[in-house]
Structure 1
Amino acid sequence: MPKTGKTPKLLIVAASAVIGLVLVAVLAPWISPYDPLAQDILARLKGPSAAHWLGADQFGRDLLSRLIHGLRASLGISAAAVIVALLIGGTLGLVAAYYRGWTERIVMRCMDVLFAFPVILLAIGVIAMLGPGSGPTAIAIAVVYTPIFARLLRGPALVVAESDFVMNARAIGASDARIIFVHMLPNLASVLLVQTSLLLSAAILVEASLSFLGLGTQPPAPSLGTMLSEGRNVLLLSPWSAVFSGVAILILAFALNLLGDVLRDTLDPRLRGEQ
Structure 2
Amino acid sequence: MSAAALPNARPAQPRARGLLARLLCDPLGRLGLIMTVLILLMAVFAGTLAPVDPFKQDILGRLGGPSARHLLGTDQFGRDTLSRILYGYRASLGVAVGAVTIALLIGGTLGILAAYLGGWFDRVVMRVMDVLLAFPVILLAIGIVAVLGPGPANTALAIGVVYIPTFARLLRAPALVLKASEYVSAAQALGASDGRVIFRHILPNIVAVLLIQTSLALSTAILVEASLSFLGLGTRPPTPSLGLMLSEARTFLTLQPWPAVFSGLAILIASLGFNLLGDSLRDVLDPRLRGQE
Range of TM-score over shorter length:
over 0.9
For residues 236-255 of structure 1, what are the structure 2 equivalents within 5 Å? 236-255=254-273
2:139 alignment partner AA: L
- Match in the other structure for 2:131: 113
1:176-199 per-position Cα deviation (integer Å, ceiling 9, x unaligned): 112112210110000111111111
2:184 pairs with 1:157:
no
2:89 pairs with 1:71:
yes
- Match in the other structure for 2:250: 232
CA distance, structure 1, for counterparts of residue 24 and residue 90 of structure 2:
32
Q: 1:175 aligns with which of 193, 196, 216?
A: 193
Q: 2:101 aligns with which of 65, 83, 90?
A: 83
In structure 1, list runs of 5 or more residues that go unmatched.
Answer: none
CA-CA distance at 1:241 after TM superposition: 1.0
2:148 pairs with 1:130:
yes
CA distance, structure 2, for counterparts of residue 10 and residue 244 of structure 1:
23
2:220 pairs with 1:202:
yes
CA distance, structure 1, for counterparts of residue 199 and residue 111 of structure 2:
12
SS of corresponding position for 1:263: helix
2:117 alignment partner AA: Y
- Match in the other structure for 2:208: 190
> Closer, same or farther in 2 for the Cα pair 1:5/1:242, shift >3 Å?
closer
- Identity across aligned pairs (percent)? 63
Q: 2:230 aligns with which of 195, 207, 212?
A: 212
Superposed CA RMSD: 1.4
SS of corresponding position for 1:200: helix
CA distance, structure 1, for counterparts of residue 41 and residue 182 of structure 2:
43
CA-CA distance at 1:14 after TM superposition: 1.7
1:231 alignment partner AA: A
CA distance, structure 1, for counterparts of residue 189 and residue 30 of structure 2:
43
CA-CA distance at 1:172 after TM superposition: 1.7
CA distance, structure 2, for counterparts of residue 181 and residue 8 of structure 1:
32
SS of corresponding position for 1:47: coil
CA-CA distance at 1:12 after TM superposition: 2.6
1:196-251 per-position Cα deviation (integer Å, ceiling 9, x unaligned): 11111011110000000000001110000000000001111111111000001111
Which stretches of structure 1, 4 residues or more, deviate above 4 A after TM superposition?
Answer: 4-7
- Match in the other structure for 1:258: 276
1:229 alignment partner AA: S
In structure 2, list runs of 5 or more residues that go unmatched.
Answer: 1-21
Q: TM-score, normalised by structure 1?
A: 0.96
Q: 1:102 aligns with which of 89, 114, 120?
A: 120
Q: 2:288 aligns with which of 266, 270, 274?
A: 270
Q: Tell me, yes or no, if the aligned pair for 1:7 and 1:266 is still in contact at 8 Å.
A: no
> Closer, same or farther in 2 for the Cα pair 1:95/1:232, shift >3 Å?
same
1:19-46 per-position Cα deviation (integer Å, ceiling 9, x unaligned): 1110110000111011111111111111
Stretch of structure 1 that moved more, 231-240 or 6-15:
6-15
SS of corresponding position for 1:233: helix
CA distance, structure 2, for counterparts of residue 35 and residue 22 of structure 1:
20
Q: Tell me, yes or no, if the aligned pair for 1:227 and 1:242 is still in contact at 8 Å.
A: yes
Q: How many residues align?
A: 271
